[in-house]
């Protein structure tokens, strides 16, 4: 029996958290999902994650949380990064950076799945090592018994993401992109059997500029003057992709995009987890 893995793109603020809470359990049941991986680097007020929010999304049914350039925006998460096998940061950061770059978890069917995260180097603010070499190292580190592997490649440039898909083709089961907050229409199975999509899009308010209030971003872009980029609240969607993977070979059999519309959010921030809006600098 193949396993079905759902990946979810950058969960943004309270709107993103609420739509995951409201829609994920049904989605998992309807689509017979065996494992859920979600990038939650924007869940705390738009940048970063707290321990409280990590435990919340775990309770909603997210099995593994991945993070990107906003990994350390809320230092509250550091103890969880150091102690939990259910949350990972990009593997190609400094060897001294808190947390782990990969993990192995079991599905309810007892299948071991290796999950790792990487961050791109093109148009990204966070200095990092070569993600291609880091991917090779991570794959060599997984025990031989781990046939199914999933990579969250958190990067800005489509070229770097597509290149990573081909670099890992036949060696990783599922390579999905995050960070741009805009879903792409290129989901496919690559030649050697890797399920790939450049970006699954954000899980958050789409009546916005990448999750932030459009009036604020426009004001900044048209005047050059600083404006705080508060999280938006409307047209909330959960975006991701589901890949079906043969658990004996690790090859992907299918991939489909997922987009579930939710309610408009009742507010942009979770009271105890938002420490004020941030100002630009990439998602």
Which residues form the catalytic set? 70
Residue 72 CB neighbours (<10 A): 18
List 18, 42, 173, 233, residue binding Fe ion (CB under 5 A): 42
Separation CA 205–CA 189 (nearest Å): 29
Select the span of 16-24, 46-54, 136-144, 176-184 touching Fe ion (CB under 5 A). 176-184
Residue 69 interacting with Fe ion (CB under 5 A): yes
Q: Does 283 bind Fe ion (CB under 5 A)?
A: yes
Tokens representing 264?
A: 């408009």
Q: Which two tokens stand for residue 21?
A: 């809470």
8 A C-beta contact, residue 150 and residue 174: yes
By Cβ distance, which residue is nearest to Fe ion? Answer: 10
Nearer to Fe ion, 68 or 262 (CB): 68
Segment near Fe ion (CB under 5 A); pick from 60-68, 72-80, 95-103, 125-133: 60-68
| Only segment of 36-44, 109-117, 233-241, 256-264 that touches Fe ion (CB under 5 A) | 36-44
Q: Which is nearer to Fe ion, 193 or 201 (CB)?
A: 201
Closest-CA residue to 12 (of 220, 283, 255): 283
Say whether residue 179 binds Fe ion (CB under 5 A).
yes
Q: Give just the sign of the alpha carbon dihedral 22, 199, 142, 53.
A: negative
Count of residues of this chain found to bind Fe ion when the rule CB under 5 A is applied: 6
Surface-to-core class of residue 94, CB atoms within 10 Å of its CB (0-12 exposed, 13-18 middle, 19+ buried): exposed
Q: What residues make contact with Fe ion under the rule CB under 5 A?
A: 10, 42, 68-69, 179, 283
């Amino acid at each position: 029996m193949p396993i079905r893995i759902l990946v979810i793109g950058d969960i943004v603020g309270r709107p993103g958290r609420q739509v995951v809470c409201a829609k994920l359990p049904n989605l998992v049941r309807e689509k017979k999902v065996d494992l859920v991986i979600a990038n939650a680097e924007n869940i705390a007020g738009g940048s970063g994650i707290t321990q409280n929010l990590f435990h919340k999304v775990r309770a909603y049914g997210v099995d593994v949380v991945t993070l990107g350039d906003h990994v350390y925006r809320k230092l509250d998460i550091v103890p969880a990064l150091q102690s939990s096998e259910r949350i990972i940061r990009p593997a190609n950061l400094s060897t001294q950076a808190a947390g782990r770059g990969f993990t192995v978890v079991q599905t309810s069917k007892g299948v071991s799945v290796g999950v790792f995260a990487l961050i791109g180097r093109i148009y990204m603010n966070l200095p990092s090592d070569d993600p291609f070499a880091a991917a090779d190292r991570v794959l060599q580190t997984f025990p031989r018994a781990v046939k199914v592997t999933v990579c969250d490649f958190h990067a800005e440039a489509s070229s770097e993401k597509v290149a990573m898909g081909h670099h890992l083709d036949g060696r990783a089961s599922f390579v999905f992109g995050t960070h741009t907050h805009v879903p792409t229409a290129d989901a496919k199975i690559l030649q050697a059997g890797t399920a790939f999509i450049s970006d699954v899009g954000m899980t958050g308010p789409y009546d916005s500029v990448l999750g932030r209030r459009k009036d604020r971003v426009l004001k900044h872009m048209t005047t050059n003057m600083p404006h705080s980029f508060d999280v938006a609240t409307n047209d909330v969607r959960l975006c991701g992709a589901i890949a079906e993977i043969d658990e004996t070979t690790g090859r992907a059999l299918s991939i489909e995009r997922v987009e579930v519309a939710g309610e408009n959010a009742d507010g942009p921030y979770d009271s105890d987890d938002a420490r004020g809006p941030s100002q630009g600098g990439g998602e």
